[in-house]
Amino acid sequence: AQSVSQHNHHVILSEAASLELGCNYSYGGTVNLFWYVQYPGQHLQLLLKYFSGDPLVKGIKGFEAEFIKSKFSFNLRKPSVQWSDTAEYFCAVTPKGGGNKLTFGTGTQLKVEL
């Protein structure tokens, strides 16, 4: 079975700081990878996804993530965070062709201070 690790549980940044959230997965085959965001009091929304092709994927609101197959990683980045980026971020993985069963990481709570 697959698993996902997010090592940063809580991150506090000042506005305009750069962001990188780590995500590592464990699975023996090929996978699809996702980052979801949950703003306070809201449901999960897709930030970006990787299925194949260019390992650097761009999502909404200036976020991007890089898939490094050799490191089983899919880290989320943003060059300059805003206060409105305060949210919880979840990395998720699903095996290709194995159905849509997502396995989520435990989440990273990001707080951006003014």
Partner 1 sequence: DADVTQTPRNRITKTGKRIMLECSQTKGHDRMYWYRQDPGLGLRLIYYSFDVKDINKGEISDGYSVSRQAQAKFSLSLESAIPNQTALYFCATSVAISSYNEQFFGPGTRLTVL
- Euclidean distance between CA atoms 4 and 106, whole angstroms: 8
49 belongs to the binding site for partner 1 (CB under 8 A): yes
7 belongs to the binding site for partner 1 (CB under 8 A): no
59 belongs to the binding site for partner 1 (CB under 8 A): no
Selected from 45, 80, 82, 84, the binder of partner 1 by CB under 8 A is 45
C-alpha 60 chain-centroid distance: 12
- For 107, the token pair is 């989440």
Selected from 32, 62, 64, 72, the binder of partner 1 by CB under 8 A is 32
